[in-house]
Amino acid sequence: MDMTLRTKAVGCLVAMAALLQASAAPAVDVGVELERIGKPVADGYNFQDPVTEVARDIIWLDNIVNVIGAVICAIVMTLLLIVIVRYNSRANPKAAQFTHNTRVEFVWTVLPILILIGIGIVSLPILFKQQRLPEADITVKATGNQWYWTYEYMDHDISFDSFMLQQGELVENGYMPDEFMLAVDAPLVLPVDKTVVVYVTASDVIHAWTVPAFGVKQDGVPGRLAGLWFKPEVEGIYFGQCSELCGKDHTYMPITVKVVSQDIYEDWLDRAREEYAEAPLDDSFMVASR
C-alpha cells in the first residue's frame, strides 16, 4: 500500500473511531433555553458583547490603540499633504539644501518611544490580569484533538468529547440553522459568576481554545498545559472556534459554552456524572493515527 493510501485508510479509521466514540455517550444537555450572546452576527464587524472583565479590558485597549493609530495617521497624512502642496517644484522652485535638523530628529525619535511606553502602561496590566490565574471555582482541562475537543472537569470524575453538529442535527439539539460550524453535541457547561480556569493542551498537533465573548485565546500544545481564566457574568450560549490551523478539518471543531445558573449547573453535573463518568477517555486510537 503506498503511503497516501495508507494515510487515507488510517484517517478513515480515526474518523470511524471518533464517530463511534461520539455515539457511545449521548450528550447531556442543560434543558433550558438560553440567550445567544457570544455569537457572530451577519455583517458584524466589531467585537462580540463582552461578558468578562478581561474581554471588556481588551475592547477598551483596542479602542485606545485605534485612536492613537488614527491620530498618528492623521498627523502623518497632514504633514505629507503640506509637503506635497507647499514644497513641490512648482510652488517652491528654489529648494532648501539642509539635510539635518537635530531638534526635529530628536522629536521624531523620542515621541514614538513615549507613545510606545504609554501603550505599554495601559496594556501590560491587562496582559498580566489575563495571564495570572486566579483561584479557580471550577477547573476544566480542554484537549484539542484532530478534530474535536475533549473536556475534563478536574474536580469531578467527568470527561467527554465535544463534536461539531452536522447541519441536519442542529434543530433537534436546540440550535438554529445558522449555528452550523459553531454548535457542538456536548457543550461545556459552566455556572455564571464563577471563576473558571481552563487548562488547554492537545493530543496531536497545536490547536487553540478561543471564546471571543470571554476574551480568551490559548494555544493547546501537545505535552504542555497552558492556563486561561474567565468569569462569565451573564447566562447564555457562547461560541468559539479552534484558532490554530490544525489540519484539514480545522474549521470543524467549534467550541460551545453554556453558562447557566448554579442550580442548573449542579443538576447538569449530577446527570453528567452518571453519563460521562462511566466513559473514561479512550484516546488509544489517537496513538494509531500518529
Contact set with Cu ion (CB under 5 A): 207, 242, 246
Q: Which is nearer to Cu ion, 30 or 246 (CB)?
A: 246
* Residue 167 contacts residue 192 (beta carbons within 8 Å): no
Q: Which is nearer to Cu ion, 196 or 202 (CB)?
A: 202
CA 28 to mean position of chain CA atoms: 24
Enter the C-alpha cell of residue 163. Answer: 463534536
Q: Which is nearer to Cu ion, 156 or 250 (CB)?
A: 250
Shortest distance in whole angstroms from residue 54 CB to Cu ion: 22
Shortest distance in whole angstroms from residue 41 CB to Cu ion: 24
Shortest distance in whole angstroms from residue 146 CB to Cu ion: 7
**What CA–CA distance (Å, rounded) separates 277 from 156?**
9
**What CA–CA distance (Å, rounded) separates 280 from 152?**
10
* Residue 186 contacts residue 258 (beta carbons within 8 Å): no
Shortest distance in whole angstroms from residue 86 CB to Cu ion: 55
For the chain, the first-to-last Cα distance in angstroms comes to 17
Listing DSSP states for 37-56 in one string gives EE---TT--SPPPP-SHHHH
Q: Which is nearer to Cu ion, 209 or 265 (CB)?
A: 209
Question: Angle, to 10 degrees, between the axis of helix 53-86 and the axis of helix 102-131?
Answer: 160
Q: Which is nearer to Cu ion, 142 or 246 (CB)?
A: 246
**What CA–CA distance (Å, rounded) separates 92 from 89?**
5
Phi, psi of 281 (to 5 degrees): -60, 120
Q: Which is nearer to Cu ion, 30 or 200 (CB)?
A: 200
3-state secondary structure of 138: strand
Q: Which is nearer to Cu ion, 26 or 222 (CB)?
A: 222
Shortest distance in whole angstroms from residue 23 CB to Cu ion: 22
Shortest distance in whole angstroms from residue 158 CB to Cu ion: 22
**What CA–CA distance (Å, rounded) separates 154 from 197?**
10
* Residue 154 contacts residue 141 (beta carbons within 8 Å): yes
Shortest distance in whole angstroms from residue 210 CB to Cu ion: 10
